[in-house]
Amino acid sequence: MKHHYKNKQGFTLAEVLITLGIIGVVSAMTVPTLMQNYQRKSYVTQLHKVYNEITQAALQYQNDRNALNLKEAGLISQDAANYFMTNYFKVVNTCDKLSGCFADSYKKITGVNAFIGDSNSYVIASGAAIRPTYSGATTRDVLISFLVDVNGKQGPNIAGRDLFIMCLYNNGVLDDANYNIDEDGNSVNFSSSPSEDERNQLFNSQCNSTSSGISGCFGKILNDNWEMTY
């Protein structure tokens, strides 16, 4: 029995190369976007984990002292903030200054340098670096401002990606800052923890701006239901 292949048609080399070329172009266009989306989800997941740890620790701190709020529980000084970190978290590294626990420098999503200050900081078991700063002496409701790098010294070291400010309020709520900086450089206090509109104002004036401030990044994520949409 003879087999005849004269009428069977396959792909030519040119057609295969064109197809591979199209696949390559599509991959080059879509893979970076997919990777960016994956990385952003990863940062948000890590941030949410730190958020839960701080919130639960604050509740435990208040309950241990049978107090109605965190001020009554004694969270009223930098020493108390340090005690809160060392006794209510699994701390794996303590640094007298920011360096050692955090990266040496940070950028913002706009490319300018981020101002983060320098003081004692900690690395917890999850790998996040945290610097607690007592703020109750200068703000009405915020007791501690936490500078948080969700993955420690690892990159990208960009405010709004892996670096955030999270503020612990007297009632145990963890939110963004309760003040903004106006066009003249003056501080404008909100009545309490920021509203959705005030979080957006913070994002535009600090996180997503050429100023050195980094507040507003965390609030934007809260507004967008734990999604990094910017």
Task: Please write the tens of the pLDDT for every residue from 165-204.
Answer: 999 999 999 999 988 776 666 677 776 889 999 999 999 9
Name the CA radius of gyration of the chain, rounded.
24
pLDDT at 22: 80
pLDDT band, residue 4 (cuts 50/70/90)? low
- Least trusted range by pLDDT, from 69-78, 96-105, 190-199: 190-199
pLDDT at 125 over 70: yes
Task: Over range 90-106, report the average pLDDT.
Answer: 94
Classify strands 107-108 and 158-159 as parallel, antiparallel or unpaired.
Answer: parallel
pLDDT at 153 > cutoff 60? yes
Please, which pLDDT band fits residue 99 given cuts at 50, 70 and 90? confident
Reply yes or no on whether the pLDDT at 10 is more than 80.
Answer: no
Q: Are 127 and 151 in contact (CB under 8 A)?
A: yes
Residue 52 pLDDT more than 90?
Answer: yes
Q: How confident is the model at residue 103 (pLDDT cuts 50, 70, 90)?
A: very high
pLDDT reported for residue 184: 62
Element (H, E) at 169: strand 163-169
* Per-residue pLDDT band at 39 (split at 50, 70, 90): very high
Q: Is the pLDDT confidence value at 20 over 60?
A: yes
Residue that is written with structure tokens 């303590």 in the block: 94
- Mean pLDDT throughout 112-125? 92
* Pairing relationship of beta strands 142-149 and 91-95 according to DSSP bridges: unpaired
The better pLDDT of the pair 191, 89 is held by: 89
Task: Answer with the residue of higher pLDDT: 37 or 102.
Answer: 102
Residue 114 DSSP symbol: P
- The first and second tokens of residue 193, run together, are 């923890």
How many residues are recorded in the chain?
A: 230
Give the model's confidence band at 31: pLDDT under 50 very low, under 70 low, under 90 confident, else very high: low
pTM of the model: 0.83
Mean pLDDT, the chain, rounded, equals 89
